Amino acid sequence: MGVTSESGRIVAGGRKGTYVRLAEGPQERHISRTDLARKPEELGDPVLTVAHLSDMHICDHQSPARVEVLDRLMDPDSTTRELIEEVGTYRAHELLTAQVGAAMVEAINEITKGPVGGGPLDLAIATGDNTDNGQFNELDWYLTLLDGGRLIPDSGDMLHYEGVAVLPDKRFWHPEGETYDMRRGDHGFPLVPGLLKAVRRAIDSPGLEVPWLAVNGNHDAMLQGTVPGNTAIGEVAVGGLKAIAMPEHWTDEAKAKLIAGLFSGDPVALGMLGELEPYEVTPDRRRRQTTLQEFVDSHVHDEAKPPGHGFRAGGESYYRYDVNDEVTFVVLDTVNPAGGFQGSIDTEQLEWLDAVLASTDYDERLAVIASHHDVASLVNDMSGAAGSRRVLGDEIEQTVSRHESAVLWLNGHTHRTAVKPHGSWWEVTAPSLIDWPQQGRVVELISDGDVLTIATTMLDHAGPARWSGSIEEVGHLASLSRELSANDWQAPKVPLAEHPSAGTAQDRNVLLHLLDPRA
């Protein structure tokens, strides 16, 4: 596939009952947004071209540290659905995250120039939730995909699949049809013989051909993106018992309290997880939980371009990176180490941000901020054991807006395609690679000397628009994953063209104009 201004946008291409098939639709041309400045007669010259991907959620889908069983609390027929905002611990297509990641690497490598400005691709950036559960093997798979090499996305018993897809439970998709499940029986999900072997085949990734920067996300450091690692979680992750059922005595209110507690980092909720009924799986030490410093240091190796993918060995999880003579990336770590899925930063990082932006002001550079969380999600004020104050979105936004060099903030987290003006700069949020529409962006900075234009173009991974039924190649599996993501039975019942994760035309292929602060 590729950029949607050239190859066309992927759209609904027929139905089998309630199950949506996909097809390649018409091209989606760029729309000018003049919220902050007029549209120039000529856009000018390219300053920067970057591929933006986010929320890959590279997943060990057989891990005992996963709690897929909780996801049914949001099923359409669940009595707890009205008591809970969201869960998100299971997707039928989570089997295929490594293949989707490989297909996005292929798509980025096929970019020869910016689709609007025509400049060469300078770099890529992955804005967090690169892994799904903060495990060592997931970290290794993600780095191998983006750096290049062979990975085997398998764990536990390397000869037999041990995830929930083989359990006699009707609420999990059973792609090989060994038992009845509601997704096939009631929602038209396909029968795919051989899939559980195919998803565990070795993948040879060429790696990204351009330098790439990394960003920490809440799923890169915590159990299911909400609970900080500890000894108990670590033992579960590498152990031989995996949760499969909730106790019968749990009331709907207790279940809702558990979910709310997990999202807020409540230790009582973590204790409730110990009551889940387990089944036996093969232990695997490669599933161990990683620390934040290990996440940072794992990016630092001899082949990394740029060095450390922005990080320094033993250094902080936020950094400055000067891309060229005109643009500086200011990368934040918005994950709250106290827990919870929403974000914030500490006062030390705020002071650092203010100082870096002051320097880019002085040097008349353009500053591009990057983080995992979008501004609206920076609401997590839990202070943790140290008791230090957490800085939230409003204060961070005010700090950024004081600096004329700040022109753009790239992020993810919400799994939704969005664009928002902030007075003198633009916020651009990428969708995820695990949920529909499984896209990234190409983001270009173009200037005529007076008006700076930020051109964003949606980028599809290289899996074919319509799944052929084959599972022989990585691209076929990525294509299947995209189709499954378009059929989330918990999602709003709207036409695919109106799916909130894909945003509107005003959020996708857009030309965002603002005054060039260097003029």
Distance from C-alpha of 440 to C-alpha of 509, rounded to nearest angstrom: 12
Distance from C-alpha of 497 to C-alpha of 508, rounded to nearest angstrom: 13
Chain centroid to Cα 436, Å, comes to 11
Give me the sign of the Cα torsion angle 425, 219, 81, 162: positive
The pLDDT value recorded for residue 231 is 82
Distance from C-alpha of 55 to C-alpha of 440, rounded to nearest angstrom: 10
Provide DSSP, 260-301.
Answer: HHHHHT-HHHHHHHTTSEEEE----GGGPBPPHHHHHHHT-S
Residue 252, judged by CB atoms within 10 A of its CB (0-12, 13-18, 19+), counts as middle
Residue 445 in contact with residue 452, Cβ under 8 Å?
A: yes
Residue 277 main-chain phi, psi, to 5 deg: -80, 130
Distance from C-alpha of 408 to C-alpha of 447, rounded to nearest angstrom: 14
Residue-level pLDDT, tens digit, the chain, 519 residues: 678 777 789 999 989 888 999 999 999 999 999 999 999 999 999 999 999 999 999 999 999 999 999 999 999 999 999 999 889 899 999 999 999 999 999 999 999 999 999 999 999 999 999 999 999 999 999 999 999 999 999 999 999 999 999 999 999 999 999 899 999 999 999 999 999 999 999 999 999 999 999 999 999 989 889 888 888 888 999 999 999 999 999 999 999 999 998 887 677 887 898 899 999 999 999 999 999 999 999 999 999 999 999 999 999 999 999 999 999 999 999 999 999 999 999 999 999 999 999 999 999 999 999 999 999 999 999 987 677 899 999 999 999 999 999 999 999 999 999 999 999 999 999 999 999 999 999 999 999 999 999 999 999 999 999 999 999 999 999 999 999 999 998 887 889 999 999 999 999 999 999 999 999
Residue type, 416: R
The pLDDT value recorded for residue 489 is 86
The pLDDT value recorded for residue 270 is 79
Exposure of 349 in the CB half-sphere (CA atoms within 13 A): 23
What end-to-end distance do the CA atoms of the chain give, in Å? 38
**Domain definitions of the chain by residue range:** 10-515
Say which CATH class 10-515 falls into: alpha beta
What are the helix (H) ranges across 215-276?
A: 231-238, 252-264, 267-273
Residue 344 in contact with residue 374, Cβ under 8 Å?
A: no
Residue 122 in contact with residue 323, Cβ under 8 Å?
A: yes
Helices and strands counted in the chain (H then E): 11, 23
The pLDDT value recorded for residue 3 is 80
Distance from C-alpha of 288 to C-alpha of 285, rounded to nearest angstrom: 6
Chain centroid to Cα 356, Å, comes to 26
The total of other beta-carbon atoms located within 10 Å of residue 41's CB is 8
Distance from C-alpha of 385 to C-alpha of 21, rounded to nearest angstrom: 49
The pLDDT value recorded for residue 385 is 66
Report the candidate in 230, 232, 215, 274 with the shortest Cα–Cα distance to residue 250: 274
Report the candidate in 406, 400, 518 with the shortest Cα–Cα distance to residue 451: 518
Residue 116 in contact with residue 43, Cβ under 8 Å?
A: yes
Distance from C-alpha of 438 to C-alpha of 119, rounded to nearest angstrom: 25
Whole-angstrom CA distances from 497 to 12, 195, 436, 505 are: 7, 29, 11, 10
The pLDDT value recorded for residue 7 is 78
Residue 129 in contact with residue 412, Cβ under 8 Å?
A: yes
